[in-house]
Amino acid sequence: MSTYKIEAGTAQHLGSRPQQTDRAALYTAARAPGYVMAVLADGMGSSVAAEQVLHTSKHLFDEYRAGDSASLPRLKELLRSIAQEAHDVIVMNPAVNSEPQSTLVLLVLTPQGQAIWTHVGESRLYRFTNEHCAMRSNNSAYVDYLVNVDKLPLEAAQKHRSTRMLNNVLGNRQKQPFVTIGVHENLQPGDAFLLCSDGLWQYFTDAELAAAVARGTPRQASERLITKAMERAKGKGDNCTMAIIKLVAPPKEAPTYVVQKMDKAV
């Protein structure tokens, strides 16, 4: 039996952009009771690619059948499959003249107190323990890949975001997405996760994000973060999107009393 309950929510703000191209969603699995997924996608140029990420994520998550216990290898394969299938469909999309692309962050929580996530591109996943940032995703593994496998000079690899051919996104026709996988087990009350686009994280330190998530409900935290991000952007803010999942202690059950008749002492 779980020692925590889940509080979760998503939030968005247009920023100063003409359209909202980010997407975020929370899903439960149709054939895997107790499994929860959060997904965030930052579309580039349009929302086409980000919409496809959500569609593919929900479709494959609904098809996932859980056994008696969570299988981390199977879940890792599920997340890789979502990233690859979404990429393939986006690349083949004939409906638009431009080249739609998207980042990807996926998080799955199991009933066994496990968290597994995958990450492609500039959007981020944070794991918090109370008000401490225990982990956040970054591009260091991709930079290492470009240096060690593609044999790029370190300086060129570190500038991959400014090079269209090397940009790590879904929908890049010139390069397959580089997918990173992370796992954390033994989830406890006080643990929390934040998935967010760069329209949010670029305005905050890790400690600020951890504190905001810890000190309120997902809705309260998202409202505070969006307000502060727009203030710090000074009218030049990008689309700002997030999904927050918090694990909190379940409420204590009220004590029950049984009233019994007492015998009169003689």
Q: What is the pLDDT along the chain (266 residues), one digit of tens a residue?
A: 458 999 999 999 999 999 999 999 999 999 999 999 999 999 998 999 999 999 999 999 999 998 777 789 999 999 999 999 999 999 998 665 578 999 999 999 999 999 999 999 999 999 999 999 999 999 888 888 888 988 888 887 787 766 767 789 999 998 999 999 999 999 999 999 999 999 999 999 999 999 999 999 999 999 999 999 999 999 999 999 999 999 999 887 655 655 554 454 43
Considering the domain boundaries, does residue 264 fall inside one? no
Tokens 């975020």 belong to 24
Report d(CA 49, CA 217) in Å as an integer. 30
pLDDT at 33: 93
Assess contact for 22 and 226: CB atoms under 8 A: no
pLDDT at 262: 45
Assess contact for 29 and 81: CB atoms under 8 A: no
Sheet with 240-248, edge to edge strand ranges: 5-13, 240-248, 191-196, 124-129, 132-136
Considering the domain boundaries, does residue 263 fall inside one? no
Assess contact for 23 and 43: CB atoms under 8 A: yes
pLDDT at 185: 96
Reading the block at residue 38, the tokens are 């959060």
Find, among 55, 26, 23, the residue nearest to 42 by Cα.
23
Find, among 106, 136, 130, the residue nearest to 205 by Cα.
136
pLDDT at 226: 97
Q: Distance of CA 127 to CAs 28, 101, 124, 203, Å?
A: 20, 26, 10, 18
Report d(CA 21, CA 98) in Å as an integer. 14
pLDDT at 266: 39
Considering the domain boundaries, does residue 174 fall inside one? yes
Q: How many domains does the chain have?
A: 1
104: containing domain: 5-248
Considering the domain boundaries, does residue 254 fall inside one? no
Show Cβ contacts of residue 163 under 8 Å, excluding neighbours closer than 6 positions.
156
DSSP 242-255: EEEEEEEPPPPPPP
Considering the domain boundaries, does residue 265 fall inside one? no
CATH of the domain at 27: 3.60.40.10
Report d(CA 6, CA 249) in Å as an integer. 9
Considering the domain boundaries, does residue 253 fall inside one? no
Report d(CA 77, CA 101) in Å as an integer. 22
Considering the domain boundaries, does residue 159 fall inside one? yes
Considering the domain boundaries, does residue 117 fall inside one? yes
- 214: helix, coil or strand? helix
Tokens 């397959």 belong to 176
pLDDT at 2: 59
